[in-house]
């Protein structure tokens, strides 16, 4: 049984990690940190975990023998915590954006401050098993992908890798309010967002350079994305609609073959006729589809932003890093309704 720790155990991603891992066949949650809730039982603050987790939050993970640590905190924390952990031989999965962009100057441009760990920044592996499985298995530190980035990359990578589309395209994406995190803000106050769809951070969302850099790694296409995220009045789920232009004559049958070739052996990515948020909510599954209209292709990707877009994908990576079956603890379907 592998022992793991969670830094930042009271947020949505930390709580979702605990929900998934408390029933994992090969992993034991040995410690969870929270400065505000230190000394309290985890199940007293996250009552859905009563009967499943019987440990208390601590202020730190010092002195705990661990195989892997998830850092489930806002950006800026992991780069301070990870180096000493990695130096001591503990594997790390960063749930924030600290290790997603390998270029420190690009990181500073989008996050507004210097990156303090250039040593491990260059060694980090992007945690999307469908594209980087071999690298994840050998990794010491994994950068867990962003939620919008996951839905968009899985939807568009097959077409870019097949050289079927031009490299500039539009991503119109919509996310549930849990993607904004647990700390309340005016934007996610129910009277403001409850019966509305709200565009935000258009052109300057931090997942945009992440999408472009990862898609360039796998396709060498130099993608240029106009990213328009929107807030939906639902709790969980993301739908990315990606508007692309075909390079040559291509049919819907050709498109289906491209996705089948890319994802036929993937346990969590499915090419379906009509991707649905409800079909994937509370699961690690992703549904994708693409259709051509004249020379325009619309590609769709949908996920649960807290699972495949965050904690579920992190567990999928941890399984690979720790030698477990990749689907361990994750092999459940979406809600459906």
Q: Provide the annotated active-site residues.
A: 147
Query: What is the DSSP code (8-state) at residue 187?
Result: G
For the stretch 166-169, contacts whose Cβ atoms lie closer than 8 Å and that sit 24 or more positions apart, written own/partner, are 166/244, 166/245, 166/246, 166/247, 167/221, 167/222, 167/223, 167/224, 168/223, 168/224, 168/225, 168/226, 168/245, 169/223, 169/224, 169/225, 169/226, 169/242, 169/243, 169/244, 169/245
Q: Is 39 left (phi over 0), alpha (psi -120 to 50) or beta?
A: left
Residue 257: count of CB within 10 angstroms of its CB: 14
Q: Which alpha helices (DSSP H) does the chain contain, by range?
A: 12-21, 42-45, 78-87, 104-111, 118-121, 129-138, 147-161, 190-193, 207-219, 252-263, 277-280, 312-322
Q: Report which of 41, 72, 45 is spatially closest to residue 58, judged by C-alpha positions.
A: 41
Phi and psi angles of residue 129, each rounded to the nearest 5 degrees, phi first: -55, -30
Rounded CA separation 143/213 (Å)? 13
Residues 207/150, Cβ–Cβ less than 8 Å: no
């Amino acid at each position: 049984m592998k022992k793991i720790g969670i830094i930042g155990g009271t947020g949505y991603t930390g709580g979702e990690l605990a929900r998934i891992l408390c029933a994992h066949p090969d992993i034991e949650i040995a410690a969870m940190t929270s400065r505000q809730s230190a000394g309290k039982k985890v199940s007293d603050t996250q009552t859905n975990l009563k009967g499943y987790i019987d440990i208390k939050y601590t202020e730190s993970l010092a002195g705990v023998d661990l195989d892997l640590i998830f850092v489930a905190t806002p950006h800026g924390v992991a780069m301070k915590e990870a180096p000493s952990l990695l130096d001591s031989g503990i594997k790390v999965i960063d749930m924030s954006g600290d290790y997603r962009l390998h270029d420190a100057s690009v990181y500073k441009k989008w996050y507004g401050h210097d990156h303090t760990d250039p040593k491990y920044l260059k060694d980090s592996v992007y945690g999307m098993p469908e594209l980087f499985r071999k690298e994840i298995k050998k990794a010491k530190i994994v950068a867990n992908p962003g939620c919008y980035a996951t839905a968009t990359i899985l939807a568009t990578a097959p077409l870019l890798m097949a050289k079927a589309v031009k490299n500039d395209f539009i991503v119109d994406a919509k996310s549930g309010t849990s993607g904004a995190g647990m700390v309340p803000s005016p934007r996610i106050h129910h009277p403001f967002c409850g019966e509305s769809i709200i565009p935000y951070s258009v052109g300057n969302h931090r997942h945009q350079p992440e999408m472009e850099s990862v898609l360039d790694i796998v396709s060498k296409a130099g993608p240029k994305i106009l990213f328009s995220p929107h807030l939906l009045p639902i709790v969980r789920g993301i739908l990315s609609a990606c508007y692309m232009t075909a390079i040559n004559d291509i049919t819907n049958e050709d498109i289906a073959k491209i996705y089948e070739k890319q994802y036929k052996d993937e346990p969590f990515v499915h090419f379906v006729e009509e991707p649905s948020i409800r079909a994937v909510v509370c699961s690690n599954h992703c549904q994708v589809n693409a259709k051509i209209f004249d020379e325009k292709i619309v590609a769709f990707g949908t996920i649960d932003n807290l699972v495949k877009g965050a904690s579920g994908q992190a567990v999928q990576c941890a399984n690979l890093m720790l030698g477990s079956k990749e689907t361990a603890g994750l092999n459940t379907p979406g809600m459906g309704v």
